[in-house]
Structure 1
Amino acid sequence: MAQFLLETVWLVPCYALIGGLLAVPWSPGIIRKTGPRPAGYVNLVMTFLAFVHSAIALQATWNQPAQEVFIPWLSTAGLDLTIALDISSVSVGALVVITGLNLLAQIYAIGYMEMDWGWGRFYSLLGLFEAGLCALALCNNLFFSYVILEVLTLGTYLLVGLWFSQPLVVSGARDAFLTKRVGDLFLLMGVLALWPLAGTWSYPELAKWAATANVNPTTMALVGLALIAGPMGKCAQFPLHLWLDEAMEGPVPSTILRNSVVVASGAWVLIKLQPVLSISPIVSSAMVAIGVVTALGASLIAIAQIDLKRCQSYSVSAYMGLVFIAVGVQQYETALLLVLTHAISAALLVMSTGGIIWNSITQDVTQLGGLWTRRPISAIAFIVGTLGLIGFPPLGSFWA
């Protein structure tokens, strides 16, 4: 059974996509008689199936070599666009994290957004998000990774702008979209420029090419800088960091995914590209510099904030700065562990914060206090999430 689920694990993104599509009829103006709640339940069931599928498949990957699945798509004029999927413990483990956190976010949203008029649309977009993230985790091709990142950029815009009748929400969604577009444009330049140099977009083949590549240093530096621009925008790194702060205007349940796994999508591509980026010392130094500036700067800004959600947004940027430093010094295993451990801790912090805001009707840190005596469960969750981020043993970030 486990082996069969492993061989079909590439279907996991389809669960979320089907759930998102099934939720569309409950969007405003299509189905009214039942109310929007079935949209949430349909998505919840499909996400649960995806989580169970990937969790059982993960057990079958232990001590097994990575497998590749190829899905032919387009071959013309010397250009072969075959969808390559990586089936390994790392990629399937990422599926478990993504589907598990999305399952928790959807359960959380049932209570948090109980009376919200955009329920059906919200769950449809969550399904799109989960499908894109799962596909990115499995994707073993740079070109298709770029396409998926574009879908996630669109999903960010739509989710942040869910409450489009509020001016701050509209401006936050717009700024998030435009800021990411800047990084995506340079990333596209790098992706296209890499093809004539390496002749492939497959990550394993790019790693083999990078081991023996003899490329003009200036050319490689420019291509490498373009390739890291996209992850800079996704991971909210300086100077493309302000969008994450403004995206906090969106619903808290969507922030659970955005602060945990969506920002990590850029880091995931960065880790995959690490052999190529390490060819140029200039690019490696640039990644370390960007990571240091963002980690220190975002930490100082977070300390100065009085809005609870903005504090967390800058802490996410600071943590992703550590990932950039790890990739810059060619410690990709450390970077990968940082990404996975941060996702769980950040999600717990956002959920705890949402509960505090929902009950206290304020996000002002100066007006919050006495949490331990009034809501001990929220306090315990908040403390555990914080310890998970600061490397407290035996939690995940300590091992990273």
Structure 2
Amino acid sequence: MLDFLSQTVWLIPCYALIGAGLALPWSPGFIRRTGPRPAGYLNALMTFLAFVHSLTALIEAWNQPPRYQSFEWLNAPGLVISLDLEISTLALGACVLIAGLNFLAQIYAIAYLEMDWGWARVYSLMGLFEAGMCLLVLCNSLFFSYVILEILTLGTYLIVGIWYNQSLVVTGARDAFLTKRVGDLILLMGVVALLPLSGTWNFTELAIWAETVELDPTVATLLALALVAGPIAKCAQFPLHLWLDEAMEGPYPATILRNTLVVSTGAWVLIKVQPIIALSPFGSSVVFAIGAATAVGTSLISVAQIDVKRVLSYLTSAYLGIVFIAVGIGATQAALVLLLTYALAMSLLIMSTGGIVLNNITQDLTQYGGLWSRRPISGLCLIVGGLSLVALPPFAGFWSLVEIADALWETRPGLFAVVLAVNAIVAFSVTRLFGRMFAGELTEFTRRSPEGLWLLVLPMTLLAGVTLHMP
């Protein structure tokens, strides 16, 4: 049985697609008598199956060499395009993270969307995100990685605009889609230009090709800049960073995925193409320069925000900026560790604030205060998420940032100072967020603010336990 699950890893993205398909009858209202809830339950069940399959396959593949599978998609004269899959411990671990966080977000959504009739659309799109991200981490082809990123861009537009009767929601969805399209079009140029140069889109073969090839410096620089453009837009990096701020108008359960996993897809592709970017010293410099500028700028902006969601959106851009710094200096392993620890910590921050926003009907931090006496569980989860996000031992964020700091200390002390400064600013911003919400006197908004439904608290506390044990 274990061997069968290991051999059928390609089924993992299919579970979420099946769940999304099963929800379709409730989306236009063909099934009215039961209400939309069964659509959510079916999607949660399929996501749980994907999590179990991923975890079982990970246990089977632990400490084993990667295995490769290939499915021919197009065979034309002079052109063969195959969907290549890499079944490795890293890819399966990413699938466990994606399916696990998506499952917790879907449980969270049961309570958060209790009175919302858009269940089928929200859960279908969450399933689409899960399927796309699982396929992306398993995919060993740059061409199909680009296709998946395009699908995720469309999914972002649809799920941000889920409440389409509100003007700010429509504007946020439109701006997110158009901003990402700018990066996608430039990335497509790089994908197309790379094939005649290397003869392959396979990531493994591209890494081998990059070790021996001697490209003209101008060609290498243009190729690197084109490949970087897509991740810049996906990860909300300067100057294509404003879309994430506006995309926060969508529902909180979707924010859990978008601000932790969906934005990280661009960083995943960036890590995969790092050997090609490294062919151009200028291209590598652009990567860590953009990361440093974004990390410093957005962390400072977060300190000035009074909207809960906007504080978290700018912190997202800041931490992905640190990932860009790590990739720019070639510390891809440290970047992967940071993506893992960041995803868990930020998910916990979003969950712990989401229930409060739902209950108090405001995102304005100036309206909060004194919640520690009313919502101690949410407060403890916010503390755990914040401590894990910043470099405070023994939490996971400390170990991930230590790896990056070690790589920067001797070679680029200036960037080392940037990472320390960003971490200090983020620590101040998270402390300010906690103080505004939980310290001080009770306000008219928080006087009657009990702990949320158990379906809001359960995934939050489970995630807090995982975050505490991550080191």
TM-score range, shorter chain: over 0.9
Shift of 1:229: 0.4
Aligned to 2:362: 362
SS in 1 for 2:263: helix
TM-score, normalised via structure 2 length: 0.84
Aligned to 1:331: 331
Amino acid corresponding to residue 317 of structure 1 in structure 2: S
Aligned to 1:270: 270
Q: What do residues 189-221 of structure 1 show as CA deviations (whole Å, max 9, x unaligned)?
A: 010011111111000000000001111100110
Report which stretch shifted further, 385-394 or 141-150: 385-394
Q: Which runs of 5+ in 2 are unaligned?
A: 401-471
Which protein has the larger Cα radius of gyration, Structure 1 or Structure 2?
2
Amino acid corresponding to residue 62 of structure 1 in structure 2: W
SS in 1 for 2:71: strand
Report which stretch shifted further, 370-379 or 387-396: 387-396
Q: How does 1:1-400 map to 2 (within 5 A)?
A: 1-400=1-400
Q: What do residues 161-180 of structure 1 show as CA deviations (whole Å, max 9, x unaligned)?
A: 00000000000000000000
Shift of 1:385: 0.7
Q: Which runs of 5+ in 1 are unaligned?
A: none
Amino acid corresponding to residue 108 of structure 1 in structure 2: Y
Distance 1:397 1:2, change over 3 A: farther
Mapped contact 1:28–1:118 kept (Cα < 8 A): no
Rounded to whole Å, the distance in 2 between the matches of 1:3 and 1:322 is 38
SS in 2 for 1:83: strand
Rounded to whole Å, the distance in 1 between the matches of 2:2 and 2:372 is 43
TM-score, normalised via structure 1 length: 0.99
Amino acid corresponding to residue 138 of structure 1 in structure 2: L
Rounded to whole Å, the distance in 1 between the matches of 2:392 and 2:62 is 27
Q: What do residues 142-182 of structure 1 show as CA deviations (whole Å, max 9, x unaligned)?
A: 00000000000000000000000000000000000000000
Rounded to whole Å, the distance in 1 between the matches of 2:122 and 2:114 is 12
For these two proteins, the number of residue pairs brought into alignment is 400
Shift of 1:263: 0.3
Rounded to whole Å, the distance in 2 between the matches of 1:248 and 1:155 is 14
Runs of 4+ in 1 over 3 A off after TM superposition: none
Rounded to whole Å, the distance in 2 between the matches of 1:212 and 1:398 is 36
Mapped contact 1:225–1:283 kept (Cα < 8 A): yes
SS in 1 for 2:80: strand
Shift of 1:394: 2.5
Rounded to whole Å, the distance in 2 between the matches of 1:92 and 1:55 is 8
SS in 2 for 1:344: helix
Shift of 1:399: 1.6
Amino acid corresponding to residue 314 of structure 2 in structure 1: Y
Q: What do residues 20-46 of structure 1 show as CA deviations (whole Å, max 9, x unaligned)?
A: 010011013321111100000000110
Shift of 1:119: 1.0
Root-mean-square deviation (Å): 0.8
SS in 2 for 1:115: coil
